[in-house]
Structure 1
Amino acid sequence: MKKTISGAIVAATCMTASAHAADIYGRRPYAQPYTVNQPLANSWIGPYIGGNLGYGWGDVSNSGAKPSGVLGGLQVGYNWQSGAWMAGIEGDLQLNSSDDTFAAWKFSNPWFGTVRGRVGYAFNNVLLYGTGGLAFGALKVERPGGISESSTSAGWTIGAGAEFAINQNWSAKVEYLYVDLSEKNFLMTGLPNGYSFSTVRLGVNYRF
């Protein structure tokens, strides 16, 4: 009789644990486990899309201008994960209000974008990562009277960030990027000008 009761208790405990695990993982795949009996509670695997808002500041080469301002945009990416290690790719496109006036010229960076690799380490619902890759964007020069000249150039970017999973679909992040857009010759200034700047961004992602 005692053996029967003990067996029933063990069976009920196993069923409860299974139901609890189902609640944790939901329908999204979980990451490859450290061991068979200890899987990670949160998965970073798969595609995602999100938005961000931040602030940027920098310098225009061959000029005393130091444009700064609010920026914001959208990002999309994909993550792969093995155990606690994550690798991914992300692209983003940003609108930027950064501008500054030096002498007779007003410099601004109306928009920029990046295509970057990401490599990180996950502590279940916290992901720390480094990122870097291609950058591209516009540098605009204006003079009084509405005369302007704009040039698009490519460059590079590098940075780091932290992402925090709110649940299996939603996450929030904070990220720093340094962006260097290469110099282009401007007729209005008679000089090669480029824009190098830093950004700090807060964002949210929805993972499918």
Structure 2
Amino acid sequence: MSKGLKTLLVGLAATTALATAAQAADLPVRSAPPAPIVAAVPVFTWTGFYVGVNAGYGWNTNDDDVVIPGVGTFEADDEGGFVGGGQIGYNYQIGSFVLGAEADIQYADIGGDSDFDGIFNGDDDDDDSWFGTVRARAGVAFDRALIYATGGLAYGEIRNGFSSSDDVSVGWTIGGGVEYAFTNNLTARVEGLYVNLEQDDDDLPAVPGVSDETEFGVVRAGLNYKFGSY
């Protein structure tokens, strides 16, 4: 091969290499694929209106045995039974704290009977017994679990054994409970209440030493439907 041909081939090779490098520089730089978008999991909140039903057990705590000298002995025994009804309410969550209000109405197969030295016996009609409450609620939420205290107004017709009035009695209630949200809309609870109703009985004379209050306890389970997606 002649020296001139060699020089020509070397020049062609160099020119080709330069052209290839320039063309590669003009190509776009390949970037890494974008990261997949992951949707955030919705955070559950207790805020919202709800309605529900409940059922449980109630018992009258009025046990009065009173001895009146020269007259005789009055005895009152408590009775317990089924309690059930419905509730409606609203919760508002601020951070981990939950504030709310609730009203309920209850059938109550509880009451009491009275006896005077085995001569006179009075028994209330449990089928007519009922009560309702209007209460505030305040609690602490641990995600879907809620521990709360509650208290407020109580009213109803539940007799204590010495009472015979059909008037609606008014008083107060206090209690607490635990509630858990199984889904975004369905919650279940266990709740306990103490209820005190003032009796206004004009049909019977006052009996010394006998309370004119009806006191009873309630333990019940409830199921609520909360409106809203979360």
Match of 2:123 in 1: 106
Q: Report the CA distance between 1:59 and its aligned residue.
A: 2.7
Q: Report the CA distance between 1:184 and its aligned residue.
A: 1.8
- Give me the TM-score of the superposition, normalised by structure 1: 0.77
Q: Report the CA distance between 1:187 and its aligned residue.
A: 1.7
Match of 1:79 in 2: 91
2:177 matched to 1:161? yes
Partners of 1:156 and 1:149 in 2: CA distance: 19
Which structure: greater strand fraction? Answer: 1
Q: Report the CA distance between 1:98 and its aligned residue.
A: 1.0
Q: Which amino acid aligns with 1:59?
A: T
Partners of 1:88 and 1:118 in 2: CA distance: 5
Match of 1:37 in 2: none
C-alpha RMSD of matched pairs (Å): 2.4
Deviations 1:88-114 (A, max 9, x none): 000000001113333201134610000
Partners of 1:193 and 1:65 in 2: CA distance: 14
Q: Which amino acid aligns with 2:172?
A: W
Please tell me whether Structure 1 or Structure 2 has the larger radius of gyration of its CA atoms.
2
Partner of residue 198 from structure 1, selected from 211, 214, 217: 217
Match of 2:109 in 1: 97
Q: Which amino acid aligns with 1:203?
A: G
Deviations 1:155-190 (A, max 9, x none): 000000010001110000000000000122242465
Sequence identity of aligned pairs in percent? Answer: 37
Alignment coverage as a number of residue pairs: 178
Task: Give yes or no for contact 2:111–2:161 (8 Å, CA) kept in 1.
Answer: no
| Cα 1:151/1:87, change in 2 over 3 Å | same
Partners of 1:200 and 1:141 in 2: CA distance: 19
- Give me the TM-score of the superposition, normalised by structure 2: 0.70
Q: Which amino acid aligns with 1:4?
A: A
1:164-179 to structure 2, matched below 5 A, reads: 164-179=180-195
Partner of residue 54 from structure 1, selected from 53, 56, 65: 56
Match of 2:154 in 1: 135
Gaps of 5+ in 1: 26-40
| Structure 1 outlier segments of 4+, above 4 Å | 140-143, 188-192
